[in-house]
């Protein structure tokens, strides 16, 4: 899915760069305005920006016309891409092989029943309301504590294997310490210690498993319900099951490898509260992060650093250190601030309680995009420019301040692109390192590998981090749109970045990464919406910039652009989005009919038996559902233990 935004960005930014260089660059270069402005630092690149056009000049109408051309071209590319992705998704759904999630829905907020258990209540409800199509169900157990025991036991078994292999090689009994990390505490025989600890955990695991299976409170008010056909599952997943819209809530079940089991144990009522709290936390995270960003931008010049740290003046004045501070220090400091951000946002998404890994990635990507938009983009341009021009503001009339801001923002583009590219190129460099598997293998084998299990885990290539890379791709798409009409000379650098990203990520996706789940292109509506948000921001910034240039009616001339953009979003949403959130009954029936013709003896119950069993219970017979007998299937009465 990461390749589609990259390709779309290249299709949009490439032609924009050609048009901008043919039309806007000559208009800007011949403006000859910056030479006449006093106390304003600029370079030759700034002469190619809109700042070099004199205030009130009719040349700005060229920028206005080109902004319409840029918007229309972006609309065309995004429409074609949306249409193509939707068609690809429908072809994929029509041609994909049989999967458990095609027959299964996730049912949540099952109402309690005083006379029946959760499992009996679910079976009774679906036998009554889906008598011809219900097949089986699997209740969800809260096995989070048990899963931690299993994981801890796995880690201890790995250490036991390591020390056992060490003993076989050296014939000397290895020792370890019982404290943290094996470096503090009492010194003991390593093999005996880990053997006894594993035995204790095995007993605790067995007791924990029996407790979960026998404790009614361990059963969550949710279940995976499977049907005899795709058509029946589609009907159930896309309709309201009860007159009370707050109970018996259904959604398509994620594929088994996509399920995030830990969050299924969260009561459904708590989800709304959790998401409200995380929305508030995200607001404060974004808002308060502006403080360090503003401080960093205030120190992004030599004078600011020398004023705060005067004892560093002799070192700063050296040529090499001065060049480093001016060119790279802001980007490096910003990178340090941001390095832990994706992890924090993913933790917030997990707290919100989403039940699948794909949903976690989508939510984290949305949060990260919002953060980059507010703090990195708006914070770096507006806050950084304000700090840089604060001294000038204090010594000039208020009527001149908008003019100063209008001149400084385009010239801020070179500096801004320089340090934001540090982050993007760092990501590409990290991906390129994966292209040297031999070196990585030896490094990991030297420092990380203790057993064969460690070797398998160390050599695991992992998966593409969609929640981090996709917002960054859209961020550079935003840069290209914003500076296409303001500083076109920067567009080739954005194109080079996308070109390298395409080459590297294409290789990684095809040859390196494992796939944790199959989204079928379901992320594209979110990607499309964020691309249009970038286009809207570029239009509003251009309107604000031209309003400082004494261009009469410029705002009125540009006002239809954001209106057109919003209309285009609404049109595309109505035209294509249903293909990404619904599954047509016609296609479901077609696949069911074809399957019945080609595999008339398919035992669907056996196929679905263990598909949605919690991993800690895999292979256990506790979950074998009783087989249906012909009399039970044809009986119109449903057995129940209810007293009324």
Sign of torsion, CA 197 200 206 209?
negative
Both 381 and 239 in a single domain? no
Residue 250 three-state SS: strand
Q: How far apart are CA 482 and CA 491, in angstroms?
A: 10
Number of structural domains in the chain: 2
For residue 629, is it within any domain?
Answer: no
Within-domain flag for 601: no
Same structural domain, 473 and 572 = yes
Look up the domain containing 76 and give its range: 2-98+266-582
Question: In this structure, are 419 and 550 located in the same domain?
Answer: yes
Residues 42 and 121 in one domain: no
Residues in the chain with pLDDT < 50?
A: 384-416, 418-419, 422, 438, 621-633, 636, 644
Residue 642 inside a domain? The answer is no
316 and 341 part of one domain: yes
Per-residue confidence (pLDDT) for residue 259, from 0 to 100: 92
- What single DSSP character describes residue 49? S
CA angle 288, 290, 291 (to 5 degrees): 75
* 496 and 567 co-located in one domain: yes
| Alpha-carbon gap, residue 354 to 271, rounded angstroms | 9
Pairing of strands 219-227, 187-189: unpaired
Residue 592 lies in a domain: no
- Which pLDDT score is estimated for 360? 93
Q: Are residues 91 and 136 in the same domain?
A: no
pLDDT for position 428: 57
477 and 551 belong to one structural domain: yes
If asked whether residues 92 and 112 sit together in one domain, one would say no
According to the model, what pLDDT value does residue 398 have?
42
The answer as to whether 604 is a domain residue is: no
pLDDT per position as a tens digit, 189-219:
888 888 888 898 888 888 888 888 888 888 8
Q: Judge whether 344 lies within some domain.
A: yes
Burial class from Cβ neighbours inside 10 Å (0-12, 13-18, 19+) for residue 250 reads: buried
Q: Which residues contact 201 (CB under 8 A, 6 or more apart)?
A: 149, 152, 153, 156
Per-residue confidence (pLDDT) for residue 430, from 0 to 100: 57
Whether 28 and 122 share a structural domain: no
- Encode pLDDT of 555-575 as tens digits: 788 899 999 999 999 999 999
The answer to whether residue 600 sits within a structural domain is: no
Q: What is the pLDDT of residue 399?
A: 43
Question: Pairing between strand 219-227 and 104-108?
Answer: antiparallel
Write down the pLDDT at residue 574.
92
414 and 273 together in one domain: yes
Query: Token pair 């994929």 is at which residue?
Result: 92
Q: Is residue 177 domain-shared with residue 216, that is, in the same domain?
A: yes
Within a domain: 239? yes
């Amino acid at each position: 899915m990461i390749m589609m935004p990259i390709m779309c960005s290249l299709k949009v930014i490439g032609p924009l760069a050609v048009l901008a260089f043919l039309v806007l660059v000559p208009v800007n270069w011949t403006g000859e305005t910056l030479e006449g402005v006093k106390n304003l630092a600029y370079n030759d690149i700034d002469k190619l920006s809109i700042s070099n056009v004199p205030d009130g000049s009719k040349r700005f109408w060229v920028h206005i016309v080109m902004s319409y051309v840029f918007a229309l071209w972006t609309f065309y590319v995004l429409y074609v891409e949306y249409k193509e992705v939707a068609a690809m998704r429908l072809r994929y759904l029509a041609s994909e092989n049989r999967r458990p999630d095609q027959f299964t829905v996730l049912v949540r907020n099952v109402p309690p029943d005083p006379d029946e258990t959760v499992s009996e209540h679910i079976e009774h409800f679906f036998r009554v309301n889906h008598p011809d199509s219900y097949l089986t169900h699997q209740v969800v157990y809260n096995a989070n504590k048990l899963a931690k025991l299993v994981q801890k036991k796995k880690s201890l078994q790995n250490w036991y294997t390591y020390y056992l292999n060490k003993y076989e090689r050296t014939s000397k009994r290895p020792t370890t310490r019982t404290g943290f990390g094996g470096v503090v505490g009492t010194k003991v025989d390593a093999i005996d210690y880990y053997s006894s600890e594993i035995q204790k955990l095995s007993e605790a695991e067995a007791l924990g498993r029996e407790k979960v299976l026998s404790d009614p409170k361990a059963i969550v008010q949710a279940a995976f319900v499977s049907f005899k056909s795709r058509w029946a599952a589609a009907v159930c997943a896309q309709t309201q099951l009860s007159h009370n819209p707050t109970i018996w809530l259904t959604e398509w079940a994620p594929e088994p490898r996509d399920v995030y089991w830990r969050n299924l144990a969260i009561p459904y009522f708590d989800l709304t509260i959790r998401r409200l709290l995380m929305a508030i936390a995200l607001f404060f995270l974004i808002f308060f992060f502006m403080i360090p960003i503003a401080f960093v931008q205030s120190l992004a010049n030599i004078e600011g650093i020398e004023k705060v740290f005067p004892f560093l003046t002799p070192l700063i004045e050296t040529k090499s250190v001065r060049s480093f501070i001016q060119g790279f220090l802001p980007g490096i400091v910003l990178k340090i601030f941001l390095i832990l951000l994706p992890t924090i946002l993913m933790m917030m998404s997990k707290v919100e309680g989403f039940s699948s890994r794909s949903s976690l990635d989508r939510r984290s990507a949305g949060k990260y995009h919002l953060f980059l938009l507010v703090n990195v983009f708006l914070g770096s341009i507006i806050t950084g420019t304000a700090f840089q021009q604060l001294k000038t503001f204090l010594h000039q009339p208020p009527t001149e301040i908008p003019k100063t801001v209008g001149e400084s923002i385009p010239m801020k583009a070179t500096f801004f692109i320089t340090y934001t590219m540090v982050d993007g190129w760092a990501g590409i460099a990290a991906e390129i390192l994966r292209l040297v598997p031999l070196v990585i293998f030896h490094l990991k084998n030297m420092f990380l590998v203790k057993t064969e299990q460690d070797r398998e885990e160390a050599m695991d290539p992992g998966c593409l981090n969609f929640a981090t890379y996709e917002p960054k791709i859209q961020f550079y798409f935003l840069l290209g749109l914003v500076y296409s009409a303001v500083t076109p000379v920067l567009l080739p650098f954005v194109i080079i970045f996308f070109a390298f990203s395409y080459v590297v990520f294409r290789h990684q996706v095809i040859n390196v990464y494992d796939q944790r789940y199959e989204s079928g292109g379901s992320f594209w509506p979110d990607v499309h919406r964020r691309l249009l948000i970038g286009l809207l921001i570029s239009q509003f910034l251009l309107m604000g910039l031209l309003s400082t240039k004494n261009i009469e009616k410029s705002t009125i001339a540009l006002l239809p652009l954001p209106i057109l953009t919003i209309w285009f979003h609404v049109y595309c949403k109505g035209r294509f989005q249903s293909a990404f959130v619904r599954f047509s009954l016609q296609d479901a029936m077609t696949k069911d009919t074809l399957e019945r013709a080609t595999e008339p003896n398919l035992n669907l119950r056996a196929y679905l038996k263990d598909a949605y069993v919690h991993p800690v219970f895999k292979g256990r017979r506790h979950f074998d559902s009783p087989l249906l007998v012909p009399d039970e299937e044809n009986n119109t009465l449903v057995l129940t233990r209810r007293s009324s």
